[in-house]
Structure 1
């Protein structure tokens, strides 16, 4: 791996936060900041990922994807979507209460699944976080390459309380709209507000914003200004409406009535669109922010009021103290209605001073307008991108994805057979062996010519001996599970395990590299073949059909095999007729595991029997299955285990297993051999790239050296177990792709590097 410094200018970013039309301050800020970036940088692609609180909000085309806040798997899927999109950086807008999990822990899950530069804007910083909040904040800070705060106090808190390097922190004031300074009288007339003085507060209505104090301050002000109106603009916060209805608003109306201020307090009880909101703001003579506590580190409402040139009376919360410094506004103590009244009376008594303050505030706020905000944010993002080295991956040789690696298989194998499970790649002897894995390993090593022939033959003998020892003459069945102490754990294995063993023996008869192996496989196959008549499970029958078809290819005069194939294809056709309906072209009313083996068995049996109708059935059902295994984004999505056994149910997304991808590739190889349709090659390649990371999570299943394969994809990420089934599935997929390449153009199979 090499690193170099490249042009760091960004062309594509992802933004994560809330989005309009969700009704909250963060949604407004995030959507406006995205719009500002798009306007300031027309060549920049911005994908907006919006948190969804389950209120059935219909988002527009500006939102690339919604993320259900409480569904941790959705965060993993979102990370995969961001990776697949080609975004070069993620900009996170963080606020407690937006993300799911304890204190928003799910956000960290998303970040753990990304390897991109991250810029985080912190909309809230708590001076006394609880333990969950502290853990999430530390995790977020650690995952961020650059941090944006909207107040100098925030930067100091990061350095002093969270020990963040000040060099990665940038203070960018809250963005705001850009409008010419206007006299309030013109807007009052437009909105029908009369000629009297207007004091205004806006924002989603909820407790903790000090509206009670503002109402209590009104009587002495009204005594001086009888025509005064106090406008409280904004709908009640949706979360409060869900829990309490309009009880809080009604309590404020009652308070105003008790104080004799009912005629002077007006509630504009709705969520205003941008232009109307700006009209209301510019109609105000004074903007009032009566927050009762210091913690408010940023206020979008204050930023908007200042940008529109409104004189401000405010309590001294963090944002107000910084923004109103140097005489830009008037600060009054928290909860002090008398002081608030005094400040309002003084300002309203001097219209000239009020007008001069409006002009001074408007000029001072120009650096906060959205266009300048966007440029400042872009500088931070480019800086974050430049701080990451750019990796130039080594060029892969043509065909290298299909190199078989036998060392992982060998690492799981001892003198008895291949061990079922491992702990991080170290064979786990507690689980012993099974014939399923040994049959798969035998079939693969007899079909491939990868690796050192002597080493391959050594492994073949081990797996063949396991199958031979598993045969139970008394029951006429193969045993399946064996403990590490070499004791069989059952007298007869499952139908599936017996079908798979017949399949492996048939393939050895057809493809083994030595005559003695073909003779050995033929003898055991003939002894075991009667069990095929006793199989009832469609998958077990399909496995046996694949083995019998291979055996008939090896011995075209094998009449018993031909008869068994004929009966089996008739059974499958009957099952299809019974189960199918207009939207369901399948042999069963459910989808389960190893699905592609069913149509593959029909294709292989029809090919050997020269029965075009049987082949056509196999091809048609495989096409239907491929549509079920295609995600909306177009990548391969194997049938998830969560939908196994559910009648006529669409496939669930998780859990996804390597065996499904391998089976699909093998079935596409069979289909291509009978009709030569290039679509089967494309379908196989989609399934193969699932192993490489072209999947719902955007995560590779192969270990770094390509010798091992993880056990699948779950909503939480990759299942980090490394079982023999998965290791073999990936190598079988590589073998099938190598054969598909050879079937297309005669390219010889590539050998593995041991």
Structure 2
């Protein structure tokens, strides 16, 4: 091999007491033992609240009931240098419907997956069929452990031959031995010694063996039946020791206390092998035919044991050609007769043992490791990685959606915008919010430019202006929350509330399509808020205020423009001494811009180009406000801070073909882990606006492309590949959670969607042009200098 092959295993892992954990451990060691240039690591699955002291090869852990852990694991795999992923699949290992949480991982990785199928269902319920078919689709190769499993995949699931690999269950390599040495080592009695081992559960069928024992014991009083293994942890959690107690009671009823032993413990592999080697006959009385593999039976075969088993699928295949005896399910008489035959015919018994042992040589872990390695090598040669953009998001439209105000109008009554919905139906008990009204005004004013003077826009704008005029307090601040009964619920809102109100009012003042009366009222409300605006301390409140003031300043609006109307109609507006002049607004604007730059310089550090130690909410609005400050002043200090922080948001959230927004479930600290879920659509909307502002400021083509991609977050370019926008109603879902989409459709979500759509609409032809050459590559952005490459559009 010219380079080291790196294999990443996914499954439960030692020291967890679980058959698949042991299998994964043995498989890893067999693969890594094939050649010095094979390096193996593990992603281990844990039950909720489990903590293990794992060996060093475990590099990542999944708490199997946490969907976000599967997404994180996918990110880890993509960023790792693993060549291939080897998944141990058993439905019960993974949470979700038929274990479908695993597909959050498989759908997001760009490495070939080799899946070892520990269970195959011949007649699956619909959810298990769907889950199996998805597993087949995501796997480059499927490894099964019997020819029966091969035929089942082909017949039931129509899997092509070339996708299936048959590799036996592995086993340790021991010499062919008699039992006495190991009986003495373990201080075990029994002549003969019968053994059943494995995690105890009702499907083991041990009661059938107990029923067979009285007549055997009457002829062979030294016979001992050893039942080795702890109760299965899932069974114990749900039912306690009910099954074990039932068996114990039955032993007493049959008078077998001297002949039946229970060893209630999980034994490590070496000790387990000693127990198997000490036994004369291994008994496998499973009750279910649908058993496609059994590690216990495999070990018994490979160690040359005489075997009596029920005819489950795996046993039928493995014990053919005189390698063991089969007894019908639950047939105690059959067990008795088969065991008598083996005890009373030692030569036939030894021949059967030798047949089993010889067959088992091909199943030793050394040979299994070679076979898996050959499959890995073959899969790597055949693997053709998919383009994430083409395959994951090929459902996205090739043009922007039309502007649709149905849902916004549904939320708006003659008072204001109802904040929240219950599954899309306005939830009146939540009342109204100035936060939504202020941003709603900004969105509507931008739509006037694109829709000219629409009557429906005029009505909405008038309603929102009326709300803000009523919400302003005597100090110039604004109430935020109003009940459906039209009572304000606070003394005054937060600083963010003030900033959002100014944000909307600034747009109103700058809009030439609105009446002078309407714009004068907006100027009056902002003027009254002047003292409050000067004294802001929170960065987002400053950013919102700057965005509103920028619209005024950019439009060249001055107090003189409204003075005559203001003076002649002072009785028509709420009391204010005078309208604030342009210089005062500019002073406030620049003061806030300088303070944001100072905040950035105080908190930035290597790998953390941000205003604060934590990335929280409304993030891109901070960057956008400084980019607007640069547009107004041409001061490169503002541009640098604005673009640096916007690029940092990109690097933090851009995954190469979609935006993975910082979630509200804890937010993202500079020395912490980025939360994945409770993603809010406001962040995608503000990113789109910020990218458009960046594009207008510096004409770097990448910003236009990123604006398109961040907007497409609403349309399904997100981690869950779920459209959040409903093109029929114009509604937008409220977020992405670990269990799927938040189907409530509140005011904030649709407003931020409209803000983003209006911004991107200005450049729709360029963003969706067939001649548009992507500047953001699918491998993602890892270095800021790549993002800032001066590919300009003049």
Q: What is the TM-score normalised by the length of structure 1? A: 0.66
Q: What is the 5 A alignment of 1:199-218?
A: 199-218=194-213
Q: Give CA deviations for 1:618-657 in whole Å, capped at 9, x if unaligned.
A: 99xx99x99xx899xxx9975424569xxxx998532334
8 A Cα contact 1:502 1:543, kept in partner: no
8 A Cα contact 1:92 1:120, kept in partner: yes
User: 1:234 deviation in Å?
Assistant: 0.7
Cα separation, 2, equivalents of 1:690 and 1:178: 57
Q: Give CA deviations for 1:644-695 in whole Å, capped at 9, x if unaligned.
A: 9xxxx9985323346547868999999xxxxxxxxxxxxxx999999999x9
User: 1:80 deviation in Å?
Assistant: 3.7
Partner of 1:35: 29
1:91 maps to which of 77, 82, 86:
86
Cα separation, 1, equivalents of 2:501 and 2:46: 49
Partner of 1:403: none
User: 1:312 deviation in Å?
Assistant: 1.6
Cα separation, 1, equivalents of 2:185 and 2:214: 27
Matched, 1:499 2:502: yes
Q: What SS does structure 2 have at the residue aligned with 1:175? A: coil
Partner of 2:738: 715
Q: What SS does structure 2 have at the residue aligned with 1:342? A: helix
Q: What is the 5 A alignment of 1:398-547?
A: 412=402, 436=439, 497-501=500-504, 529-530=526-527, 532-533=529-530, 539-545=540-546
Cα separation, 1, equivalents of 2:464 and 2:143: 74
User: 1:276 deviation in Å?
Assistant: 0.9
8 A Cα contact 1:506 1:549, kept in partner: no
Matched, 1:640 2:637: no
Q: What SS does structure 2 have at the residue aligned with 1:656? A: coil
Q: What SS does structure 1 have at the residue aligned with 2:203? A: coil
Cα separation, 2, equivalents of 1:187 and 1:240: 31
Against the structure 1 CA distance between its residues 43 and 663, is the aligned structure 2 distance closer, same or farther, given a 3 Å change threshold?
A: farther
Matched, 1:49 2:43: yes
8 A Cα contact 1:197 1:228, kept in partner: yes
Q: Higher relative contact order by CA 8 Å / sep ≥ 6: 1 or 2? A: 1
Partner of 2:569: none
Q: What is the 5 A alignment of 1:191-590?
A: 191-194=186-189, 196-349=191-344, 351=346, 354-390=349-385, 412=402, 436=439, 497-501=500-504, 529-530=526-527, 532-533=529-530, 539-545=540-546, 548=549, 559-561=583-585, 564=588
User: 1:367 deviation in Å?
Assistant: 1.1
Cα separation, 2, equivalents of 1:551 and 1:162: 65
Cα separation, 2, equivalents of 1:558 and 1:178: 88
Against the structure 1 CA distance between its residues 499 and 32, is the aligned structure 2 distance closer, same or farther, given a 3 Å change threshold?
A: farther
Partner of 2:147: 152
Cα separation, 2, equivalents of 1:590 and 1:367: 57
Cα separation, 2, equivalents of 1:203 and 1:742: 58
Matched, 1:129 2:121: no
8 A Cα contact 2:688 2:759, kept in partner: no
8 A Cα contact 1:502 1:544, kept in partner: no
Partner of 1:654: 677
Q: Give CA deviations for 1:65-109 in whole Å, capped at 9, x if unaligned.
A: 444444444444443443343555443333333333333333445
Q: What is the 5 A alignment of 1:62-81?
A: 62-81=57-76
Cα separation, 2, equivalents of 1:594 and 1:651: 16
8 A Cα contact 1:642 1:655, kept in partner: yes
**Tell me, which stretches of 5 or more residues in structure 2 are unaligned?**
390-397, 411-424, 427-435, 472-485, 487-496, 513-518, 559-580, 600-609, 694-704, 726-731, 744-748, 768-774, 777-782
8 A Cα contact 1:79 1:697, kept in partner: no
Against the structure 1 CA distance between its residues 305 and 587, is the aligned structure 2 distance closer, same or farther, given a 3 Å change threshold?
A: same
8 A Cα contact 1:219 1:261, kept in partner: yes
Against the structure 1 CA distance between its residues 311 and 531, is the aligned structure 2 distance closer, same or farther, given a 3 Å change threshold?
A: farther
User: 1:307 deviation in Å?
Assistant: 1.6
8 A Cα contact 2:503 2:544, kept in partner: yes
8 A Cα contact 1:19 1:51, kept in partner: yes
User: 1:159 deviation in Å?
Assistant: 2.7
Q: What is the 5 A alignment of 1:1-40?
A: 11-40=5-34
User: 1:172 deviation in Å?
Assistant: 1.9
User: 1:249 deviation in Å?
Assistant: 1.4
User: 1:365 deviation in Å?
Assistant: 0.5
Against the structure 1 CA distance between its residues 746 and 80, is the aligned structure 2 distance closer, same or farther, given a 3 Å change threshold?
A: closer
Cα separation, 2, equivalents of 1:30 and 1:42: 19
Partner of 2:178: 183
Cα separation, 2, equivalents of 1:560 and 1:743: 40
8 A Cα contact 2:205 2:287, kept in partner: yes
Against the structure 1 CA distance between its residues 363 and 727, is the aligned structure 2 distance closer, same or farther, given a 3 Å change threshold?
A: farther
Q: Give CA deviations for 1:696-739 in whole Å, capped at 9, x if unaligned.
A: 94989999xxxxxx99755367999993444578899999x99x
User: 1:323 deviation in Å?
Assistant: 1.2
Matched, 1:593 2:644: no
8 A Cα contact 2:4 2:37, kept in partner: no
Q: What SS does structure 2 have at the residue aligned with 1:365? A: helix
Cα separation, 2, equivalents of 1:460 and 1:110: 44
8 A Cα contact 1:77 1:696, kept in partner: no
Against the structure 1 CA distance between its residues 748 and 73, is the aligned structure 2 distance closer, same or farther, given a 3 Å change threshold?
A: closer
Q: What SS does structure 2 have at the residue aligned with 1:231? A: strand
8 A Cα contact 2:114 2:376, kept in partner: yes
User: 1:341 deviation in Å?
Assistant: 2.6
8 A Cα contact 2:91 2:98, kept in partner: yes
Against the structure 1 CA distance between its residues 391 and 643, is the aligned structure 2 distance closer, same or farther, given a 3 Å change threshold?
A: closer
Q: Give CA deviations for 1:523-581 in whole Å, capped at 9, x if unaligned.
A: 99977741543868954553113554898899999542366469979999xx9xxxxxx
Q: What SS does structure 2 have at the residue aligned with 1:48? A: strand
C-alpha RMSD of the superposition = 6.5
How many residues are treated as equivalent by the alignment?
662
Cα separation, 2, equivalents of 1:378 and 1:461: 67
User: 1:288 deviation in Å?
Assistant: 1.4
8 A Cα contact 2:171 2:299, kept in partner: yes
Q: Give CA deviations for 1:437-460 in whole Å, capped at 9, x if unaligned.
A: 8958999x9xxxxxxxxxxxx979
Against the structure 1 CA distance between its residues 33 and 701, is the aligned structure 2 distance closer, same or farther, given a 3 Å change threshold?
A: farther
Against the structure 1 CA distance between its residues 413 and 590, is the aligned structure 2 distance closer, same or farther, given a 3 Å change threshold?
A: same
8 A Cα contact 1:52 1:67, kept in partner: yes
Cα separation, 2, equivalents of 1:524 and 1:599: 29
Cα separation, 1, equivalents of 2:227 and 2:464: 88
Partner of 1:678: none
Cα separation, 1, equivalents of 2:339 and 2:791: 88
User: 1:356 deviation in Å?
Assistant: 4.9
Against the structure 1 CA distance between its residues 503 and 543, is the aligned structure 2 distance closer, same or farther, given a 3 Å change threshold?
A: farther
